[in-house]
Each structure stands twice: as C-alpha cells, then as structure tokens.
Amino acid sequence: MTGAHDLRGKEPNPKDVSAFVIDNLSVRVYPDRSAMGSEAAQMVGDKIIALLTGQDCVNIIFAAAPSQNEFLAALVQNTSVDWTKVNAFHMDEYIGLPENARQTFASFLDEKIFGRLPFKTINYLNSNAADVRDECERYAALLRNYPPDIVCMGIGENGHLAFNDPPVADFNDREQVKIVELDTECRQQQVNDDCFSRIDDVPTHAITLTIPALMAGRYLYCMVPGIKKAKAVFNTMNEGIVEAYPSTILRQHTNAILFLDQESSAVVKHKI
C-alpha cells in the first residue's frame, strides 16, 4: 500500500498541467490518464481528510465506469484516509441483469474499491428488488439521511451524468432516485467500453440518482479521460446549460473540478 506522500511524489510536473475555469467549473488537463487519475485521487483523499477534521464521517457517491479506473486504482492506495469513517454510495445500476452478473455496477465497484477498503458502510442500489420503485424511495431516504459530501463521477459519450441521458435529464427533477430508459447512444457506449459484446445485450432500463441528487454533493470531482469523450467534453464547456447536454450543469456548481487527459481535451484545446 502506498501512502499519501508517495502519491504526491507521482504528481505531474505543474508545467504539464493546464488549468482554467468555465463559468464556475474548474478544469484541469493532464498529460495522460495515469497522471489525471493520480491527481484526482490525491485531491479527493485530501478533501476527505479535511472534512473529517470537522465532522464524524464523510458520505461519498461513486460512479462505475472504465473512465474511473485510474482514479479508483490510485484512491485505494491512500492509507492516510480513515476509510472506516466513510459511507460509500452507488450512483446507478442496470435493471434486468442477474445480481452476480459481471456487468453490474455493483460488481465493478466491489472489484475496484468497495471490496478493497474498510468503509463504514457500503450502500448498494438493488435493481432486483421486488418493487423497484420502492427501492428508489428507499435509496432516496438514505441520501436524505446521509447527504453527499463528495461525488466522484464521469461524463458519458452523450453527455449524461449517471444515467441521466438527454431524453430524461431534468435539472429540476423532484425525485432523487428514479427509473429511466437508456437511450441508444448510452447503450452503445457500454459496448464501446467492452462491457457487453453487442447492444442487444445491454439493458434498456436502469435506476439512477437524478441530476439534483448529484449536484447536491458539496464537492464534485469529475474524471473524463479518453478520445471517445472529446465531443462530450467540448459540449460540456461550450453549449448552453440545458438538459440536451446534461453535463453542462456542472458549470453551475461552485465546487466542481473536471479532470481531463490530452485525448479527452483534444478538441477543447483548439477551441478555447
């Protein structure tokens, strides 16, 4: 296990990192995915430690996607954090997959982080509940009782946050957790990420935390590497703040950081 000081030793040279602000959104661009993930993990770890100086526990929502791999790999190495004071939450989950299917987001998070750190609690979405609507209410009540301090997230190829695809994204959603139908681009991304072999295998519906539930986090850390995300990153920064481009809402949060690598920022660098 590597401690926080070791992680700091792997930070990129400041000359290799470009930083700027779009509206309220802080943006940081790193040389590669590894540097991006390490720095994001360091910043999240430091924030957890800082918060624990003034409160008994920290509540964190985690996204499950290959875009989070480098970040999660670095985060689990941070032994300076007292993980027994952290409550972990699940951002979204497919409906219709067997509970033990490798493609579930619960399985992903178990492998990458939940099964590797001694969290105080781990709170899963149960998409196989007898009544999925009741499950949404149960999880919404959890979020009310344990308001998120930190949200660790990504952006989809279609600009979605969690499973809030453009057709269902609602910046003023009255619900905290809801059932959604996934759009075609979102389902194709799961094939592009090698999670499924063909689009017909990807579930059509899911449970997701809504955009207001995610934006309620006190601190947002959004990790978005890879060339496939370049268009979504450009839209995030340049389109109007509208539901057709869900990730644009990040520009209204006063404590959000967008972490990019050279590939995901490829279009942005030529346009800003």
With 0-12 CB in 10 A as exposed, 13-18 as middle and 19+ as buried, what is 200? exposed
Give tens-digit pLDDT for 108-130.
Answer: 999 999 999 999 999 999 999 99
Q: Model-level pTM greater than 0.75?
A: yes
> What are the start-end ranges of the E strands in the chain?
18-22, 25-29, 58-62, 86-90, 92-95, 121-123, 150-153, 177-181, 205-209, 219-224, 256-260
What is the reported pLDDT for 269? 63
Residue 227 lies in a domain: yes
What does R_g of the chain's alpha carbons equal in angstroms? Answer: 17
Residue 272 lies in a domain: no
DSSP state of 13: P
- Structure token digits, residue 157: 């190829």
What is the reported pLDDT for 189? 86
- CATH code of the domain in which 65 resides: 3.40.50.1360
What is the reported pLDDT for 4? 32
What is the reported pLDDT for 268? 84
Give tens-digit pLDDT for 30-44.
Answer: 999 999 999 999 999
- Contact (Cβ atoms closer than 8 angstroms) between residue 47 and residue 39: no
What is the reported pLDDT for 2? 31
What is the reported pLDDT for 3? 33
pLDDT average per 10 residues of sequence, the chain (272 residues)? 33 68 97 97 98 98 96 97 98 92 94 98 96 98 98 97 97 98 91 88 95 98 97 97 98 98 86 48
What is the rounded CA–CA span in Å between residue 166 and residue 158?
Answer: 7
Residue 168 lies in a domain: yes
Residue 2 lies in a domain: no
What is the rounded CA–CA span in Å between residue 24 and residue 256?
Answer: 8
CA angle (221, 223, 224) in 5-degree steps: 145
Residue 269 lies in a domain: no
Residue 9 lies in a domain: no
Q: Distances from the Cα of 242 to the Cαs of 79, 180, 260, in angstroms?
A: 40, 19, 22
Residue 170 lies in a domain: yes
CB-side neighbour CA atoms (13 Å) of 143: 28
Residue 226 lies in a domain: yes
Number of domains in the chain: 1
Find where tokens 């993990």 sit: 41
Instruction: Give the count of beta carbons closer than 10 Å to the beta carbon of residue 143.
Output: 18
Domain limits for position 188: 18-264
